[in-house]
Amino acid sequence: MNVKKSDENYVTIGGVKLERTAVLAPMASVADHAFRMMCRKFGAAAVTSEMVSAKGICYGDKKSAELLTVTEEERPMSVQLFGSEPDFMARAAQEAAKYKPDLIDINCGCPVAKVVSTGAGSALMKDPELIGRIVRSIRNATDIPVTVKIRRGWSLDTENAVEAAKAAEQNGACAIAIHARTKDQLYSGSADLDTIARVKKAVGSIPVIGNGDIDSAQAAARMYELTGCDLVMVGRAACGRPWIFRQIKHYFLTGEILPEPALEDKLAIMAEHIELLVKDKGEYIGMKEARKHTAWYLKGMKNAAEYRRICGTLSTLEDFYSLIKQVKNDN
């Protein structure tokens, strides 16, 4: 597998210069400030907020506004909006711009019924012309560069990623990210690299970000090589493994595959993450949310099934520290 050459080490998206390694995918209920900080610390080239409802923002919902917060340490950071009406999306983008994100991303991929039933998320794949109008309306409303995250299509029968990407490009998007599965596929099967290659060929003037199933440095290199994409995006594989970004960067720089961190190091990284989560959200909410993250960190270890059960009961930092002690004793 070829490792990228040094003259290909950066890509510019809407004037924002990014390392050509891997960016963190937007993930609702996962990619909050604490998780994004961990990913940036390990070298994610950029991070994205959880998706935020355009209507929620326009109607002054407090939770939606909180999701828009961008801290300096997280930059470059994008905030992702979901919605289906160009006017609302433009007003939401103006509100979002007050938080000074580096980029604003439009969600055209979410398959969740609550979102799709309003015409937003992956339902937009049924109407590329509307995607174009939304991009245009946001472009006209703010100076923040706009990106679009699409899927392969709504279904295999109506596959139209190229058309959707072109509509976004023609209306002023500055990059296209593509999760190469259809809405109907949800997360089943594997992402279709050929779709990413076709989108890259069709969209000449702006970068294309490939996404789907990257779970190692070699998989990232493979996506670059087989699709010709400008950047890659990692989602699920960063859950409980934020160091994947360091592994990807290291591989591209040196051609060497970094091993997984030693147990002690993994536990220290997990503790740093969970302590930050609790600092951000308080112990009650923070520890509830820590349950899934801790289970991801401990996946695959000896006694993992027992740890998963314990993770599901964590309520205090004290519970969490005793779990760490137990893992150390067992291993």
Binding footprint of ligand FMN on the chain (CB under 6 A): 25-28, 30, 50-51, 80, 107, 109-110, 149, 179, 211-214, 234-237
* SS3 assignment, position 218: helix
Rounded least distance, CB 127 to ligand FMN, Å: 17
CB of 291 to ligand FMN, least distance (A): 14
- What one-letter code names the amino acid at 176? I
Closer residue to ligand FMN (CB): 237 or 267:
237
Q: Residue 50 or 169: which CB sits closer to ligand FMN?
A: 50
User: For ligand FMN, which residue has the nearest CB?
Assistant: 235
Active site residue 110: yes
Amino acid at position 95, single letter = E
Tokens of 316: 């205090």
The nearest distance, CB 157 to ligand FMN, in angstroms, is: 21
In 3D space, the residue among 13, 10, 7 whose CA is nearest the CA of residue 208 turns out to be: 13
Choose between 83 and 109: whose C-beta lies nearer to ligand FMN. Answer: 109
Element (H, E) at 175: strand 175-182
Residue type, 280: D
CA–CA dist 139, 191 (Å, integer)? 30
Nearer to ligand FMN, 25 or 54 (CB): 25
Q: Residue 207 in contact with residue 218, Cβ under 8 Å?
A: no
| Nearest distance in Å: CB 51, ligand FMN | 3
State the catalytic residue, choosing from 110, 174, 229, 239.
110
- Cα 88 to its chain centre, rounded Å, is 23
* Strand duo 103-108 + 146-153: pairing: parallel
Dmax over CA atoms of the chain, in Å, equals 59
Cβ distance to ligand FMN smaller for residue 88 or 327: 88
The CB-of-325 to ligand FMN minimum distance in angstroms stands at 29
Kindly report the CA angle at 76 between 74 and 80, in degrees rounded to 5?
90
Enzyme catalytic residues: 110
